[in-house]
Structure formats: structure tokens, C-alpha cells
Structure 1
Amino acid sequence: MTLSVWFVLTPNVLMLDYAGPAEAMRMAAEMGGDLVVHSCAPVPRLRTSLGVELLGLAGLPMQLPRNSLVIVTGNACEAEDYARPEAKAVVAWLRGALQPDTQVASICSGALLLAAAGLLDGRRCTTHHSLIEALRVAAPAAKVEENRIFVEDGRVLTSAGITTGIDLALYLIERYVGVVIAARVARRQVVYQRRGGHEPQLSPWLAHRNHLHPAVHRAQDAIALDPARCWSLEELAGQAHVSARHLARLFAEHAGISVVGYQQRLRVARARELLADRQLSIGRVAELAGFASARDFRRVWQRHEGGAPSAQRATLDRNGMAAASDERQATPR
């Protein structure tokens, strides 16, 4: 199903908060991603932080279609900007227009509008470092986290803004459209991409792609599309249109890792996703992720992650129960 992405703007919108993520989404659609990007506001024309005006903006939709992603952008001077009637109109709209399947995200000070709409109550969230205390005041029932690129809690994501809005956009593109297009968008924007976690960290799917060599990217695209496949160096060299020996050298030079090491990291990342399914045994997880045996899986996991896969599964279970409890507490009765 097509993802409808709605960037919600208010007067004096911070252009980098809007333009960077919006361009990332537009590029993803241009590259074949099944998404449509909209820019909407309570007024058809508004002034931006750069002094230029945006014209022809769509109005706030009366009813969001299914499978929508709403992204509320930040502003240059939130204390004044969010006292305007246009910002209050957005808050009222957020309270009434979201559907049960609507995903909501904020960039920078946009978190303050989510807070005003009550969407952060009982949730973990973040914002720009200069606005952390303001967010705590605006959302006393939220769990505001510092020094985070972005935070995801249920259907709500909040980011630190400015360039981290692009990090958030890449994460969402990876989720909804796939890792290959996310990597291509990152490469086109020439950015160093990271994902959220308990600490800022590099996405295992996007790591080692902070380079511009097309042959290496072609090989990485092939591995990412099917990490469980037993790729030979010759097969990957064919995908990259270089010799096997040359690809091995290029991979080490530009990606900073061997071909085998890169594939193992993606297999571990795939295994991490599969471990969340309790119906799959460790042996089945190993098989689906592309490992030769459960023993081989445990050995590679220990090298890259430390500990055992079963310990990771136990952690996922604990976090899942905690998240479900938070979701129940945050749901209005």
C-alpha cells in the first residue's frame, strides 16, 4: 500500500528541518519507492526562516488516508511561532485527524506541537538539545531523553532536528521502502547516516556505505537485497562489473571492511530481526539469516555482538513487555 507522507508546516518554518527530510522522501519516491509526499499547512502561503515564502501549500487534510506518515517540522523561534493561531490550528488538527494506523514524527521543535496535542504523554521522546527543558515543561508526562538523534516509541518518533531530520527520514525510508533505496538516497545526499538506539549508533544496514565508489555500492546493494544468499566473490564482482580481485581491494579501501565481514554483519542484523519471533528456534533463525549452522551463527554473533543470541532474545522479550505496558498506560481510556 502506498505510504502518504504529510509534512506539516507553520509560519517561520526552519527550512533545513523541512527541506532536508522532504528531499530525502522525494528522492526515495523518484527511485521507485511506493510513497507520495505532500506539504500541508493551515494557510496556503507562509514565510520561512530564510525570509522566502512557500506558496501553494495544501490545507491540513480533513481525513488522513490509511497508511499515512505525518511529519511535523520545526521552527526558527518556537516561543513566538507556536503562539500564533496557525500553530494552534495544527495542534487542534493533530488531536482530531490522526487515524489508528497513522505514524507521527517530529523534527526539532515540532516535538513541542506534539506535546501540546498530548501525543507524547507516557512516551519516550527527544528534541533539539537547546529545547530539552522546554519539552519537559510542555510534556511533563513524557520521558524526555537527552543526547539522542531520534527516539521511537510506538507510532511516535521525535528527532533532535536540523541535520538529524535527515537521519530520521533515512530510517523511515529504510523501514517503508527498503535498505537499498535508503542507501541510495543517503549516497545521493552525501550524508553520514545513523539510526536511533539507546545511544546514537550506525545502522547495520547503512554502515560502511559512507563512500562514493559505484562498484562497491552495487555489490553492497546485491548483498543487502539477499544477505542469506551464499554470494561468491565472483558473483558479486559480476554485479559490480569489476574483477573479483579488484572488488576485494575496492571493498577494503572504500567500505573499510572485507566482503565476507560485510555480509556477516548484515546476516547478524537480519538474525536480530528474526529473534523477535519466538516461534523460530535459534537453529531456524540461523538458517533464515544465511548461516551454515546454529553453531556458526553463535560464533559470528559472539564476534560482532558479544554474548549469545538467546540473551538478545530475552532482552527483546523484556523490552517488548515494557513497551506494551507503556502503550497501555498512554492509551486514553
Structure 2
Amino acid sequence: MLESIRPIYVLLLPHVQLLDCAGPSQVFFEARRQGANYQLIFCGIDSTVTSAQGLVLQTQSGLPEIQPEATILIPGVQLDYYADLNTPVDPRIIRWLHAAAAVGCRIAAICSGAFVLGEAGLLNNRPCTTHWSALELLQQRYPKAQVRQNVLYIQAERIITSAGISTGIDLALALVEQDYDALLVAKIARQLVLYLRRSGQQTQHSIFLQYRNHLHLGVHRAQDYLAEHLTETISLEQLAEIAKLSVRSLNRAFRATIGLTPISYQQQLRLELAANLLHNPAWSIEHIAQQVGFSDARHFRRLWQRYFGTNPTQSRNAQESNQC
């Protein structure tokens, strides 16, 4: 069964900041090239919009019909555009956003795009953020909003806001990870030559996203292959061939770029998958070990103890206690 299209409506307002628009859009464009089923649609009230930098942008004239599976992106505009609200948000946009929120659309604002959400009342009683220079103004303008400082982006149910400029890229990567997985995000980040960052609200770091802030093509090839063939037995010779390196060079490159051996990296990938599978109470520890590529459950238990300082059963019990 084919996956349905995931529309990305990019709302272009007068004086839009180019990077706020282009950065997240590029993420979804690259995701589509990697197989994700996104469709970028640039929309606005008028058929053309002039950016803050003076570039004239063409849009799909008018606001598209709302689809529940759609994501709406609101790039920021020149900050002083909203300084006194002499130019209020068009009521048609407010009504459109209300309709989108009512059917459960995901709505993400970059930088001063948060002010549009504020005008629509969508920040009321929700944590949110914006560019550091506009935090006080956002709180003053919308006293019911729970404005947060020192975060890259923050999600409250289906409403997401980011600190602005380059953090719109971080926000877009987080949305792709929600829709697909961390491996796709790692591939996009590599394609865009990005250093992956996580939200200031997120304390756990996925192994699928860690150790990707390097430019060694051979190591990236090996990392991709290990992540895509997680449960398979892969020899160092096979991995070296995929990386187009000798076994010795592969080991040296792994240590130099990520500080791990290929085997240790593979083990950590498998352990993270196992941590997710622990949530299924119907599966025994032995079954989970097999599902993530360990033929010997005792070896799996030893590795778990080494990395997490406890055994898998204790970790499962702790998960269940946290859910109570």
C-alpha cells in the first residue's frame, strides 16, 4: 500500500526571512529525494511576496484546502514588521490556521512566525519560543503564552515554535524524524553538510544521530550500512568493502572520526533498538536479543550491563514504573 502524500504548506508573508523559508524547505526537499512522501506547497494570500531581503517570491495564490495530514510552516518575517502591529495578520490567515488546528494539522512557526500563532490564539497556555531578541515582546503581546528561553525549538501537542534563523532547520529535521526515523534524518544532515543538533528540551540522544558530525565518506557509508542491516552478521571485510577502505583503514577511520570501533558502533545501534523493544511486555529478553541480531542472549545481557549499568530486566521494570 502506497503511503499517502504529506503536504508541507509553507506560508509566505510579506517581509519573509529567506533563511527561515529556505532552510526548512530544503530539509523536506532532501527528505523527498531520499524517499519520503512530502510535497512542498508555497502559499500565501497574494501570488507574489517580497522577502525582507528584497527577493520577489511567487506563491500558489490563495490558501490551500486543509488536509489533516498536512504540516503548515510559518517562516519568520523581519522582526520590526510586528513591532507595533500596524500591519495586522490577515483575518483569512487566522481563519485558515484555526481550521487547520481544529482538524489536527501540525503547525510549526520559525522565529517571528510565532507572532502569527499568537494572533490566532494558538499559543495560549502553551510553551513556545521565538528569536532571542523578540522573547520579551512575544510574552508582552500574548500574556497567556508560556514563553521559554534557551531552547532551539519546542513542541506543545501539534504546535511547534523555534528560536529562528538556522534553528528552523533543526525543527524541520525533528519533524522528519517524527514522520520517519533517525536514519533518514542522518542522511539528510549529511547531504546538507550539517552538524546535527537536538532540542534543548531533549536529553536523550539517539545513536542513529550521534557520531555523524564528520565528513568522512567511507565511515558514513559504513554507518549507513550497519544501520540499515542492523540484525545481520557483517564481517569487517564486508564493511571495509562497502566503505571502499581496507580493514585497517576502516578501523583507523572509525576511531579518528567517531572514537569507536565499527563493532562497538554496531553494538550501540542494536542496543538502542533493543531498548525500544523492551516496551513490549510479551517479548522475553532472549527473544529481543535475537530480534536485534544477538545470537547469544548472555552476550546481549553483558553488553547491556556494560553500557547501562543494569540488566535488561531491571531496565524494563524501570520503564514500566515510569509509565505508571
TM range (shorter): 0.7 to 0.9
Asked if the contact 2:44–2:59 (Cα under 8 Å) also holds between the matched residues in 1, the reply is no
Q: Is the counterpart of residue 147 in structure 1 residue 150 in structure 2?
A: yes
| Structure-2 residue corresponding to 1:188 | 191
| Structure-1 residue corresponding to 2:36 | 33
| Structure-2 residue corresponding to 1:68 | 70
| Structure-2 residue corresponding to 1:327 | none
Q: How many residues align?
A: 317
**Unaligned stretches of 5+ in structure 2?**
none
Correspondences of 1:1-333 after superposition (within 5 Å): 1-61=4-64, 63-77=65-79, 78-80=81-83, 83-98=86-101, 100-196=103-199, 198=201, 202-277=205-280, 280=283, 284-291=287-294, 296-297=299-300, 299-301=302-304, 303-305=306-308, 309-310=315-316, 313-314=319-320, 317=323
After superposition, the C-alpha distances for 1:136-189 in whole angstroms (9 at most, x for unaligned) are 344444443321111223222221121111111122223324434322221222
Q: CA deviation at 1:256?
A: 3.1
Q: CA deviation at 1:126?
A: 2.4
Q: CA deviation at 1:45?
A: 1.2
- Which TM-score applies when normalising by structure 1? 0.82
Aligned alpha-carbon RMSD (Å): 2.9
Mark the CA change 1:152 to 1:247 in structure 2 (over 3 Å): closer, same or farther. same
Q: CA deviation at 1:255?
A: 2.9
After superposition, the C-alpha distances for 1:267-314 in whole angstroms (9 at most, x for unaligned) are 333234334555555555544344556665555455545565236514
**Could you tell me how far apart the structure 1 residues matched to 2:176 and 2:68 are?**
18
> Structure 1 residues 200-209 or 301-310, which shifts more?
301-310
**Could you tell me how far apart the structure 1 residues matched to 2:287 and 2:104 are?**
31
- Which TM-score applies when normalising by structure 2? 0.84
Q: Per the alignment, in what secondary structure is the counterpart of residue 252 of structure 2?
A: helix
**Unaligned stretches of 5+ in structure 1?**
319-333
Q: Per the alignment, in what secondary structure is the counterpart of residue 109 of structure 1?
A: helix
1:26 maps to a residue whose letter is F
Asked if the contact 2:43–2:63 (Cα under 8 Å) also holds between the matched residues in 1, the reply is yes
**Could you tell me how far apart the structure 2 residues matched to 1:296 and 1:124 are?**
44
Identity of aligned residues (%): 37
